[in-house]
């Protein structure tokens, strides 16, 4: 009986027997470094204590070689990209990519639209596509998620395009980039609380204090700062993620300082998770 309770505790606490939330890394954070020495930087990721990745590419390696590199560093791909146009034309290819890695998630990062805020009609079309593709992916155990990018938050008089998508997402969920939600004028914590259970992934990315917002999904990546040092309530978001059972707390640092900032951000997440 005692052993059963120990095993149950490990299942509840999650990866590494510590938390129900696992820290992950979006490999785009090291896009420049991977061009120079992908072996070194995959090893470095493991040294930072991160073992879950959002990615999908193999850099200079064959698929077999890249899988070997992942295995050697106790790394795994938990999420791949889902290009919007490919979701329309060939969703099977995206699903195959996810299944190849055993990834749980496929994320669409951008909805093609004219420069500036997205229209409600465009969001309605995207929502219909995501529901259709999400139903198809779910049959194979893969969850389709959408990554808001800040252009979805212009108020239309009856709410925002983001509100429409959240209220009508039946077969897909969200990989919320809290930086871009804040940039677009949204409130990441308020969204999580209003739509609980819709955020199995969070892109944790803090914003330099004093940074102006942007309604078009564009901004200076150098305003990405160490988690907990900017103007986004990252600690509050982690606490909300704990309440809701969010699976992955994904660090994405697009700045030129990512190699030095990421381990500091890992330490901050662990500190909050332990509170």
Note the pLDDT of residue 10: 37
Radius of gyration of the chain (CA): 18
Going by pLDDT thresholds of 50, 70 and 90, the confidence category of residue 217 is very high
Percent of the chain with pLDDT over 90: 91
The average pLDDT across 142-163 equals 94
Alpha-helical segments (H) within 37-184 = 38-47, 63-72, 84-89, 91-101, 120-138, 161-168, 178-183
Residue 263 corresponds to which tokens in the numbers above? 């381990």
Confirm if 183 and 231 have CB atoms less than 8 A apart.
no
pLDDT in tens, 240-270: 999 999 999 999 999 999 999 999 999 999 9
Q: Report pTM.
A: 0.92
Read off the pLDDT of residues 34-73 as tens digits, 9 standing for 90 and up: 999 999 999 999 999 999 999 989 999 999 999 999 999 9
Structure confidence at residue 1 (pLDDT): 41
Residue 17 has pLDDT above 80, yes or no: no
Q: Is the pLDDT of residue 145 over 90?
A: yes
Nearest residue to 142 via CA among 199, 95, 81: 95
**Do 138 and 177 meet the contact criterion of CB atoms below 8 Å apart?**
no
Structure token pair of residue 162: 């983001």
Where do the domains of the chain lie, and which CATH numbers do they carry?
Answer: 21-273 (3.20.20.150)
Assigned token pair, 52: 């879950």
- Chain mean position to CA 110: 13
Region at 217 (left for phi over 0; alpha for psi -120 to 50; beta for the rest): left
C-alpha 190/C-alpha 194 separation (Å) is 6
Q: Is 175 helix (H, G, I), strand (E, B) or coil?
A: strand
Instruction: Compute the average pLDDT of residues 88-102.
Output: 97
- Local confidence band at 19 (pLDDT 50, 70, 90 cut-offs): low
């Amino acid at each position: 009986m005692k052993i059963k309770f120990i095993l149950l505790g490990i299942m509840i606490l999650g990866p590494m027997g510590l938390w129900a939330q696992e820290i992950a890394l979006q490999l785009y954070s090291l896009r420049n470094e991977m061009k120079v020495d992908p072996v070194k930087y995959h090893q470095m990721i493991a040294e930072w204590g991160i073992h879950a990745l959002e990615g999908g590419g193999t850099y200079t390696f064959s698929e077999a070689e890249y899988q070997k590199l992942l295995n050697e560093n106790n790394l795994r791909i938990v999420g791949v990209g889902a290009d919007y146009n490919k979701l329309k034309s060939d969703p099977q290819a995206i699903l195959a990519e996810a299944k190849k890695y055993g990834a749980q998630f496929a994320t669409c990062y951008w909805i093609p639209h004219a420069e500036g805020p997205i229209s409600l009609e465009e969001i309605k079309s995207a929502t219909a596509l995501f529901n259709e593709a999400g139903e198809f992916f779910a049959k194979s155990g893969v969850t389709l998620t959408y990554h808001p990018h800040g252009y979805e938050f212009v108020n239309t008089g009856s709410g925002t395009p983001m509100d429409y998508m959240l209220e009508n997402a039946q077969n897909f969920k969200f990989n919320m980039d809290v930086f871009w939600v804040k940039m677009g004028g949204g409130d990441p914590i308020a969204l999580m609380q209003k739509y609980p259970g819709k955020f199995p992934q969070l892109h944790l990315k803090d914003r330099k204090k004093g940074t102006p917002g942007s309604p078009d999904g564009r901004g200076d990546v150098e305003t990405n700062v160490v988690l907990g040092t900017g103007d986004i309530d990252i600690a509050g978001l982690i606490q909300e993620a704990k309440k809701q059972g969010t699976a992955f707390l994904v660090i994405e640092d697009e700045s030129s300082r990512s190699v030095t900032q990421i381990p500091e951000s890992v330490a901050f997440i662990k500190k909050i998770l332990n509170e």
